[in-house]
Amino acid sequence: MTIVEMSSTGRLLVPKEIRQRHQFEDGTSFAVFESKSGAITFRPLNPKPGRRFVVALRECMESVEIPEMHFRSPPRL
C-alpha cells in the first residue's frame, strides 16, 4: 500500500513506480468511481500504447514481408 497526500489544488501524485509499470504519461485521463462504501477507484481511459511497445512493434514489422495480392475481379467501390 502506498499513501499519497492531496495538494491544496486537489492534485494527487501517482507514485513513479506505478506510473512506469502502467506506462502512464503526462495527460493520461482517468475515470473516478466512488462505491457505496466510500472506496474511490481511478481507472485510466483510452490508454496510449507505451513508447517501448510502439518501437518494438515497428522493429517487428520491418522484418514482415507482405506478399503482393492478385485479384480475379475488380475491387468493389
Residues contacting residue 47 through CB under 8 Å, at least 6 positions apart: 22, 23, 28
Task: Name the residue with cell 466512488.
Answer: 34
The pLDDT tens digits for 43-77 are 988 666 677 777 888 888 887 777 777 767 776 77
The pLDDT tens digits for 1-58 are 889 999 999 999 999 999 998 888 888 889 999 999 999 999 988 666 677 777 888 8
Question: For the whole prediction, is pTM greater than 0.75?
Answer: no
6 C-beta neighbours (distance < 10 Å), count: 9
Rounded CA-CA distance 43/31 in Å is 5
The pLDDT, as a whole number, for residue 18 is 92
Sign of dihedral through CA atoms 42, 38, 16, 2?
A: negative
What is the biggest distance separating any 2 CA atoms in the chain, rounded to whole angstroms? Answer: 68
Domain positions in the chain? 16-62
The pLDDT, as a whole number, for residue 40 is 93
